[in-house]
Amino acid sequence: MNIRPLMLSACLLSGMTAVNLSATPISGMFSIDGNITVSAAMITWANTNAPFTPNQANVGENGTGSFASLDGTLVTIEDLNSGTEPVGSTFGPDQFISFNSAPAGFPTLLIDYIYPGVFSSAACSASPAVGQTCTPTGPGGGASPFSFANVQGNQGTPPIESEATFTFGGVTTDGGVWEGQFSADFNVPYQTVLSTLASSGSVTDTYASSLTVTVGAATPEPGSGIMLGSGLGLVLLSLGSRRLLKKQHLQ
């Protein structure tokens, strides 16, 4: 028997195993911000710096874990289409976020679920008032991901502003799971935002988000309320936190 080929095969297998075992799955938190454009069937993205490059977003500060070294860099974020990425139903997973300045082979985020908004549509067309909430009807009468709330305006702005939150989730290419809470602020009531969307076909605004990546976590059933950001409580907490931050910024 020729032992040398067997020894070589064993060494190669051992090396491959060592590489796999030494690879550390990504985990931690990071934030991104940019411009978002919403139309009846599409969500598209761009960064906030001229020339407002499509499908780019800015990574914020204070990233943790695997993302701590990526502060101030860019990510590539893919557009979403309600035809292939429907709200409230599992799909894909489809490519969503990749990290432009990460080392070669750094895992990417795949999206497979868009959570429905948590409010009813009853007050979507009501006369604007502080405290109203609304999740509008989506394309073709389907679900919408947006949870709107009318809030008290800040000094120097209209008396009623609005905020929208929306939650996405998915998996990473190295076997983890992630979830992201996105939000956008408007200096007009959400009724005006929805009217603009209906009349012009799209609305563009800035957004901010916080995304959490977990190593090897079991994925709960979509809509079960277990995953971060999927419940009404976190939506309200997010809205309250953003109002507090805006107030502190003005002081």
**Is the omega angle on the peptide bond into residue 51 within 30 degrees of 0, that is, cis?**
yes
The average confidence (pLDDT) of the chain is 83
The span from the CA of 170 to the CA of 114, in Å, is 9
Residue ranges of alpha helices (H) inside the chain are 3-22, 190-200, 232-250
pTM of the model: 0.80
The span from the CA of 124 to the CA of 194, in Å, is 8
pLDDT tens by residue, 97-131: 999 999 999 999 999 999 999 999 999 999 999 99
Tokens standing for residue 132: 């109203």
User: Which residues are CB-contacts of 156 (< 8 A; sequence separation ≥ 6)?
Assistant: none
Mean pLDDT is highest, among 1-15, 145-159, 188-202, for 188-202
Which segment of 23-32, 66-75, 213-222 scores lowest on mean pLDDT? 213-222
Task: Tell me what pLDDT residue 217 has.
Answer: 55
The residue extents of the domains of the chain are 28-250
What pLDDT band is residue 154 in, cutting at 50, 70 and 90? confident
Please give the residue that has the higher pLDDT: either 50 or 29. 29
